[in-house]
Amino acid sequence: MSLQSSIAEPIADSASNTAHDTASDSSPVNTDINAGAAALARHLANTPDTESIKEFIPGPGIVRLGKFFDPQKLRQGLDDALAIGGWRGEVVKAISLTKIPGDSESQRGNNLRGLYWTRADESYEEVQRESAVAEEDFSEFVEEYKQTYFYEVWKVLCQLGTIGRCRLLLKEPRSTLSWHRDPEPRLHVPVVTNPGSVMVVNSHATHLPADGSVYFTDTRGYHNAYNGGEEPRIHLVATLPLVG
Ligand SMILES: [Fe+2]
């Protein structure tokens, strides 16, 4: 397609901030090609920062609460947990560290995933997936995992707030979750990660280093987690049921 013919077609307003562009934007077609060229020149003059992607950058709904754990003990805890029990689930691969007292099924099936909402297609309409999980009932740490470091981790997290399900979640290399929102926020403790593993919360994207930190993620907002690296990403994730 020639430049001349492309001008006649609807194009984005390249001279303005595109943060407010939406699929339903009905503003007139911008045919000011000179303004677009000037904006492009300005952007080309700025070299992107490629170092900060290794760091955590806080944003709306994603913050670091503190560095409470030993990264080496987290790695050892993972090795110990994997020696006790393997990953369960298909879409979400998890190891359940907490359960509903007396209910061994609470570590399986939908309880590995849980209810969420997503906007999955070009209609932009929100739809519900899966079914609700009684988060506040997951009050018991699974006996066989008490010999791992994660028992200490769980007890510390319980001092931060009311904890529901506590799971180790595997994100395989070059994989992504759906773009979705959950009924409740989450605490994340990265155990194994790489710079290509990113969380996106409310359209703010950041890497979460596995340095012993606890991150609050307000997953009541739309979010995603993807692993664009070449090795697995494993986080301990604790739900924060909204009590009361
Ligand atoms: Fe989620």
Give residue-wise pLDDT tens across range 109-134: 777 778 999 999 999 999 999 988 88
Strand partners, 236: 168, 189
Q: CB neighbours (10 Å) of residue 75? A: 15
| The pLDDT value given to residue 244 | 58
Which of the four pLDDT bands, split at 50, 70 and 90, describes residue 83?
very high
Which of the four pLDDT bands, split at 50, 70 and 90, describes residue 186?
very high
Domain count, the chain: 2
How far is the centre of ligand 1, averaged over its atoms, from the C-alpha of 112 (Å)? 12
pLDDT mean across residues, the chain: 88
Residue 51 lies in a domain: no
104 and 16 within one domain: no
| The pLDDT value given to residue 23 | 52
Enclosing H/E stretch for 170: strand 166-171
How far is the centre of ligand 1, averaged over its atoms, from the C-alpha of 169 (Å)? 11
How far is the centre of ligand 1, averaged over its atoms, from the C-alpha of 180 (Å)? 6
Q: Which domain holds residue 21?
A: 3-44
98 and 182 within one domain: yes
Percent above pLDDT 90 for the chain? 75
Structure letter (DSSP) for residue 8: T
How far is the centre of ligand 1, averaged over its atoms, from the C-alpha of 4 (Å)? 45
| The pLDDT value given to residue 243 | 67
- More confidently predicted of 34 and 13: 34
67 and 39 within one domain: no
How far is the centre of ligand 1, averaged over its atoms, from the C-alpha of 11 (Å)? 34
| The pLDDT value given to residue 171 | 97
